[in-house]
Amino acid sequence: EAGVTQSPTHLIKTRGQQATLRCSPISGHTSVYWYQQALGLGLQFLLWYDEGEERNRGNFPPRFSGRQFPNYSSELNVNALELEDSALYLCASSYGTGGKSNQPQHFGDGTRLSIL
């Protein structure tokens, strides 16, 4: 079974640009989660999508947005990039809201976003 895949592995941008990160969940999983791991700030929840809808959002500004496609893959978009957006962005997937609430999230290897 293929795991969660993320692309690209690394992304280098400059301040003010826009970045798009992609995630493909494990087959059968309908929920996709995005997390940011920034140096000194730890792992923080960004967004949760299920069945194409945004279900929950962390404490991040609106320039962090995303979407989930009919095949359950997802994109995270970050507009007007700032230096502090430099971080490892992790995507995870799990079964959706119709499934058990007590289930693990399975993570991809992340996209390392560097802002110059």
* Interacting residues toward other proteins by CB under 8 A: 4, 31, 33, 35, 42-45, 48, 50, 55-56, 58-59, 88, 90, 92, 94, 97, 101-110, 112
Closest separation between CB of residue 15 and other proteins, Å?
A: 23
Kindly tell me the sign of the dihedral angle through the C-alpha atoms of 61, 67, 73, 78.
Answer: negative
Closest separation between CB of residue 86 and other proteins, Å?
A: 13
**CA 75 to mean position of chain CA atoms:** 7
Q: Which helix (H) or strand (E) holds 36?
A: strand 31-38
Closest separation between CB of residue 19 and other proteins, Å?
A: 18
Strand partners, 57: 47
Instruction: Output the six-digit token pair for 42.
Output: 């730890």
